Amino acid sequence: MKKVTKRFERKHGTPDFPVRVHPLSSIGCEGVTFCNWHSDYEIIYVKKGELEFHVDALHTTLKEGQCAIVGSERIHHLRYRTSSPDEAYLCEAFIIWFDPNIVNLMGSERCQKQFITPLLGGKYHISEIISGENPAQCRILESVLSIHSLFETQPFGFELKVISELLNILYEVVSNRLYHPSPGLPATPAYEQSERLKRVFTYIDEHYNERIYVSDLANVLNMSTDNFFKYFKEFTQMTPTEYINHYRIGQAEALLKTTDQPVTDISLSTGFDNVSYFIKTFKKYLGITPNRYRKTYAVAEPLEDEETEKEGA
């Protein structure tokens, strides 16, 4: 089977320091990320409540004080989950993304070849769930929390400490053998399933602004509609329609933040042919209307851009 090379990439951090920390909150929204894969590593830490965590064929629950580590190119998504629907604050978490090249140790060929390349290059996967059940896992969780704190305070030279904490996580993983051989190799069932589903997600990415039927997705894999529906839901824990709506809302978020397009135009350009349904769906997933979201989260133009425009006038 031909390997799908298209990824759902997004720039994390800056080109000269590709690390980013992003908060997650379930307040007022249904809360789910669409299935995606990318070249960066991802660490998800739950500060309060619970998160459903899905990576490849693994479906489990991340509890308060636990984290998950997702390697490059692995299909994954999250869904908020709580032990009590009456809690005022349901779930709080954060994600750390980092380019594995940031811990490149080419200056130490032995370390790079023996540890870094096998661990971050796809031959092995770090244990997905770090629950704190032993001292080594507790030290990993401490490093994860340290990175979060460093990004909040950003003391001078904090970047060095962030890299140090990432290397500490890798040291604990290696020294305590918290890794396993990657099933993501050609001819293995896990690899085949992952590549098949990437074809479906890529089709949605390329056609989300059009009308998509479940039969269209089934045809991508040469499956019957009924069999595809069951196959897709078993893997993603969502129906194809739910996934498509989540993906479209994600695209709408970006347009609301970065453009001044009218909500009606955004609705149409992201595949919703009914603006009322778009607004209803947007509010269901994010807890606020598109207009309110734009006012709250719109990205302001940098001041230097305004100065440049004045100079060129």
Residues with Cβ within 8 Å of 150's Cβ and at least 6 positions away in sequence, in order, are 158, 161, 162, 165
- Domain shared by 237 and 193, yes or no: yes
What's the token pair of residue 306?
Answer: 């305004």
H or E segment and range at residue 146: helix 135-153
pLDDT averaged over every residue in the chain: 83
310 within a domain of the structure (yes/no):
no
* Residue that terminates a domain, selected from 181, 212, 233: 181
Task: List phi, psi (to 5°) of 125.
Answer: -115, 135
- Domain shared by 231 and 203, yes or no: yes
How does residue 305 score in pLDDT terms, banded at 50, 70 and 90?
very low
- Domain containing residue 66: 19-181
CATH of the domain at 285: 1.10.10.60
- Domain shared by 29 and 46, yes or no: yes
Confidence (pLDDT) at 82: 46
Which range, 111-115, 138-142, 234-238, has the best average confidence (pLDDT)?
A: 138-142
Mode of pairing for the β-strands spanning 179-181 and 92-98 = unpaired
Mode of pairing for the β-strands spanning 67-70 and 129-130 = antiparallel
Phi-psi region of 27 (alpha: psi -120 to 50; beta: other; left: phi over 0): beta
HSE-up (13 A, CA, CB side) for residue 113: 4
Rounded to whole angstroms, the Cα distance separating 127 from 210 reads 39
114 within a domain of the structure (yes/no):
yes
65 within a domain of the structure (yes/no):
yes
Confidence (pLDDT) at 7: 47
305 within a domain of the structure (yes/no):
no
Confidence (pLDDT) at 192: 75
Please give the DSSP secondary-structure letter assigned to residue 272. -
- Domain shared by 287 and 235, yes or no: yes
- Domain shared by 155 and 87, yes or no: yes
Calculate the alpha carbon distances from 41 to 21, 28, 101, 133, 151 in Å: 12, 28, 10, 23, 17
Domain count, the chain: 2
Contact 254, 266 (CB under 8 A): no
- Domain shared by 221 and 242, yes or no: yes
Query: What is the b/e burial string over 224-234, where b = at least 16 CB atoms within 10 angstroms of the residue's CB?
Result: eeeebbebbee
HSE-up (13 A, CA, CB side) for residue 265: 6
* Residue that terminates a domain, selected from 181, 205, 222: 181
For range 144-158, the mean pLDDT:
97
* Counts for the chain of helices (H) and strands (E), in that order: 12, 10
Mapped onto helix, strand or coil, the DSSP state of residue 265 is helix
Rounded to whole angstroms, the Cα distance separating 295 from 289 reads 10
CATH of the domain at 39: 2.60.120.10
What's the token pair of residue 190?
Answer: 């896990």
Residue 297 has pLDDT above 50, yes or no: yes
Of 75, 74, 76, 72, the C-alpha closest to 62 is 76
Residue 2 has pLDDT above 50, yes or no: no
- Domain shared by 174 and 196, yes or no: no
What's the token pair of residue 18?
Answer: 């590709």
206-235 pLDDT, tens digit each: 999 999 999 999 999 999 999 999 999 888
Residue 299 has pLDDT above 70, yes or no: no
Alpha helices per DSSP H over 180-312 = 189-207, 214-220, 225-236, 240-258, 263-269, 275-286, 290-297, 303-312
158-194 pLDDT, tens digit each: 999 999 999 999 999 999 999 988 765 555 666 677 7
